[in-house]
Structure 1
Amino acid sequence: MYSDSHLHSSFSSDSDTPMEEMIQTAISKGLSSMCFTEHQDLDFPPGEFDFLVDMDAYQQTLSTLAKKYQEQIHIRFGIELGLQPQLGNQLSDFVNSYPFDFVIGSVHVVDRLDPYESVFYENRSEKEAYLRYFTCLLENVKKYSCFDVCGHIDYVVRYGPNKNLYYSYQNYQEIIDEILRVLVDKNIGLECNTGGFKYGLGHPNPTEEILKRYRELGGEIITLGSDAHVPQYIAYEFERAVDILKQCGFSYYTVFEKRKPIFFPL
């Protein structure tokens, strides 16, 4: 079983699952390693969630459980970092303050709005909303280099009024290609996030065409992540995702340890 590099527990404000329960389920599914990537979204707009992790408690609990289960599974210390252009040095300062194995850079906020909320799509077409998301993502990947892979780069389509019914890579090819080129130039990887299957999209985030295009542009660093917030979705549809990655030209997938990529055959 492949390593799952995108997992949340109750240390993320949108999960109620104890970390130990996530670990026990991962072991029961046969994973040899896993990486927790709790949410850290500085300056997140007020709402149901704050997406700020108690780092001392998170680090201490993970360390304790990693030792407890070290004979059964390798547990890595990660973070999912919310990218917003106004945060400046706060992000790199935060990342440099902890001994992370892995840092995902994701965009969950655009113009002080969360695409999860319907208000993001008000007074503009779905295409305009998606394009605004990609424009903000491009601004962030150009500005920041303090993360190892870019998370779920077409995250916005999970929540649009029609989800991915009218969405395709071709409709946004110019700006998506620019995002991918920046990642390749910075040697920042891409995540294959199987949460898209959970949300009924029939595809991972990003879609197969984007994964293939990243590979064509020279991208080699690809991680597998379920984005699970509850145990049943750990390593969700990984066999399907592996077949997709092979079809897109990948021979290896990547796991990070101490911020260094390790490549394993698919």
Structure 2
Amino acid sequence: MHFYGKFLHDLRKETLLLIDSHSHSRFSFDSEADCEENILAAMARGLDGLAFTDHIDRVDGPLDYCFDFDDYTRTLIPLKARYKDRISVLIGAEMGLNLEKNHWIEAAMKDDRFDYFIGSLHTVDNQDVASTLYTYKGDLKPYYRNYYDAMVHAATGTTGYHVLGHMDYLDRYVRDKAAIPPFAFYKEQVAAVLEHLIQKDLVLEYNTAGKYKGLNYGNPKEEILALYRDLGGKRICLSSDAHKSEHIGRDFHSAKDYLIRLGFTHATYFEKKCPVEVPLAD
């Protein structure tokens, strides 16, 4: 950890801060949220920080999407300065992991205008996971096997991301939740990814959006969180995955208590690509 990171860590590691580490704005293809309204909503909910993490998904075909980095930073940097005495505004992106585009992805994540990158798996074989599952018929086990195999390869084969996003994201889009395969079916692949995160000192995201997308749990589910903990994983962040201003920071206080009950003591966020740990407990 270089000096700036050590300074931040020493300054804030014993200060309770509530940071929303995953949100979207008009720079994402699936959001129309105004950036300043997101910041105002975060302050109204008592958050200490808000990270903008708009979508980037580089794939072959019509799903390929990337916002303009210059436009993004020209918009967010003045807002960061305007509200600096009231809330910490972080500039990030949610990068879709795809080994076929890894050269571009890893180069993009070296951009020092960004505080950090979330690595997520939204596509498999250049096909959108959400829309595929929404119309999927038959036994889901082959698709789940393919998804988690792809996650192992993408998560372990990509460098430059800091947080692994909504690990069991695909559960949200299964229409018949009873058809979701049991955790034991893909536990081995999940463990391989979690072990990689721990080895590389990366962060696992706890994303509250699952509860608002047809599940009775956030992402990842408790079995994954417990396995991460049991393997020695400690670094976790709190995220809303908000695509509308009114969803910023949703369910954070109960989520924080939930993570404490599971044995996690700190949340981790990033500034200038340096990790900052803050206690979860008051």
**What amino acid maps onto 1:249 in structure 2?**
G
Q: Which of 9, 12, 37 matches 2:53?
A: 37
Q: Given residue 254 of structure 2, which amino acid in structure 1 is its aligned partner?
A: R
2:51 paired with 1:28:
no
Letter in 2 for 1:21: E
Residue 123 of structure 1: how far off its partner (Å): 6.3
- 8 A Cα contact 1:114 1:120, kept in partner: no
Matched, 1:64 2:78: yes
CA contact (8 A) 1:14 1:51 kept: no
Q: What is the CA distance between 1:167 and its match in structure 2?
A: 4.1
Structure-to-structure mapping, 1:135-154, within 5 angstroms: 135-154=149-168
CA shift, 1:122, in A, is 4.1
Provide, for residues 137-195 of structure 1, a one-character-per-residue CA deviation record: whole Å limited to 9, x for no partner.
11101201210011001111111232465444233211111111122122221000111
CA–CA distance in structure 1, aligned partners of residues 239 and 107 of structure 2: 25
Residue identity in the other structure for 2:242 = A
Amino acid at match of 2:42: A
Contact 1:224 1:253 in 2 (8 A): yes
Equivalent residue for 2:25? 9
Per the alignment, residue 197 of structure 1 pairs with 211
Aligned counterparts of 1:254 and 1:223: Cα–Cα separation in 2: 5
Is 1:232 equivalent to 2:282 in the alignment? Answer: no
Contact 2:133 2:174 in 1 (8 A): no
The letter for the 1-side match of 2:251 is E
Q: Measure, in 1, the Cα distance between the counterparts of 2:60 and 2:250.
A: 28
Structure 1 residue ranges without an equivalent (≥5): none
Could you tell me how far 1:44 is from its partner in structure 2? Answer: 5.6
TM-score, normalised relative to structure 1: 0.93
Counterparts of 1:16 and 1:73 in 2: how far apart (Å)?
22
* Cα distance per residue 1:112-136 (max 9 Å; x no partner): 1111113786465212212211111
Q: How many residues align?
A: 264
Q: Aligned letter for 2:78?
A: T
Match for residue 113 of structure 1 among 117, 123, 127 = 127
* Aligned amino acid, residue 130 of structure 2: Y
The CA distance in 2 between the partners of 1:249 and 1:134, in whole Å, is 26
RMSD across aligned positions (CA): 1.8
Q: 1:106, 1:168 → 2: CA distance? A: 22
**Consecutive aligned runs of 4 or more in structure 1 exceeding 3 Å deviation:** 118-124, 163-168
Report the AA paired with residue 69 of structure 2. Answer: M
Counterpart among 213, 227, 230 of residue 213 in structure 1: 227
Shift of residue 69 of structure 1?
1.4
**Partners of 2:140 and 2:181 within 8 A in 1:** no
CA contact (8 A) 1:32 1:73 kept: yes
Q: For residues 84-139 of structure 1, give each alpha carbon's deviation from its aligned partner in whole angstroms, at most 9, with x where no partner exists.
A: 11113211111113421121000111011111113786465212212211111111
Q: In structure 2, give the amino acid aligned to 1:46.
A: P
Are the aligned partners of 1:121 and 1:129 in contact in 2 as well (CA < 8 Å)?
no
Asked if the contact 2:134/2:173 (under 8 Å) is kept, the reply is no
User: Structure 2 length as normaliser, TM-score?
Assistant: 0.88
Aligned equivalents of 1:113, 1:105: Cα separation in 2: 17
Query: What is the distance in 2 between the residues matched to 1:166 and 1:88?
Result: 30
- Please give the alpha-carbon distance, in whole angstroms, between the structure 1 residues aligned to 2:137 and 2:223: 29
| Counterpart mapping for 1:90-169 below 5 A | 90-118=104-132, 122=136, 125-163=139-177, 166-169=180-183
Judged with a 3 Å threshold, the aligned counterparts in structure 2 of structure 1 residues 248 and 168 are, in CA distance, closer, same or farther, namely: farther
Q: 1:180-195 residue pairs with structure 2 within 5 A? A: 180-195=194-209
Aligned position for 1:170: 184
243-252 or 30-39: bigger deviation: 243-252
